[in-house]
Amino acid sequence: MTAAMPVLCICGPSAAGKTTFALALAEALRQEGRHPLLITCDNYYRQGWQPHPRFGFDTLAAIDEEALRRDVSSARYGQAEMLRHYDMRTRLVTCHPVTTPYDMVLIEGAYGPQLLQDFPLVGLLYVETPLLLRLWRRLKRDVRERQRSPFYVVRQMLLQMLPGERRFILPMKALADDIIQVDNYDLEPILSRLDGRLVRQR
């Protein structure tokens, strides 16, 4: 059987900069000779799911846990052939092929890493950004990219996003190996700590 590949998780609240940080980290890992496969947990929202009466889509229940765990399990052993894509505007699910070789798995998301805590991770990184900046980023993103009205976005943030974060995401901060201030971070020490964990896992 093929040896399991290392799995690294990036978690944090909405619009904290997780995706941007994950892409920067993936590129830095490539510069060191690693080949990460990036799995974005936003792609595992359930198609046709009815929003939770309290949290809307800001809840673990909105994530297709079975599909996420299946794909991460396959990826760990180099067997990932297809990965999901969830369109945040249409809320439809499609799949795309994995076309490049990889030797580690990099997972990022607000909801999803919580469901993988029993996996042997080489690290859990928690990304945080000041609240007002996050609210502004999410407002711009959801209006521009997801064609939501400003009123809808503000209401959703106050009534669902923030309660969902307190309930499901903030507890992950206490479990994190590193807390990343996304507006002021240095990849070099992060990579150094990761290198040590990757060596120990071999």
The first and second tokens of residue 116, run together, are 């993988």
The tens place of each residue's pLDDT in the chain, 202 residues long, gives: 568 899 999 999 999 999 999 999 999 999 999 999 999 999 999 999 999 999 999 999 999 999 999 999 999 999 999 999 999 889 999 999 999 999 999 999 999 999 999 999 999 999 999 999 999 988 888 888 888 898 988 888 999 999 999 999 999 999 999 999 987 788 988 888 888 777 555 5
Distance in angstroms (rounded) separating the CA atoms of residues 20 and 134: 13
Residue 97: CB atoms within 10 Å: 9
**Phi then psi for 28, rounded to 5 degrees?**
-65, -40
Domains of the chain: 7-182 (3.40.50.300)
- For residue 22, what are the CA distances in angstroms to 106, 138, 162, 186, 194? 8, 18, 23, 13, 14
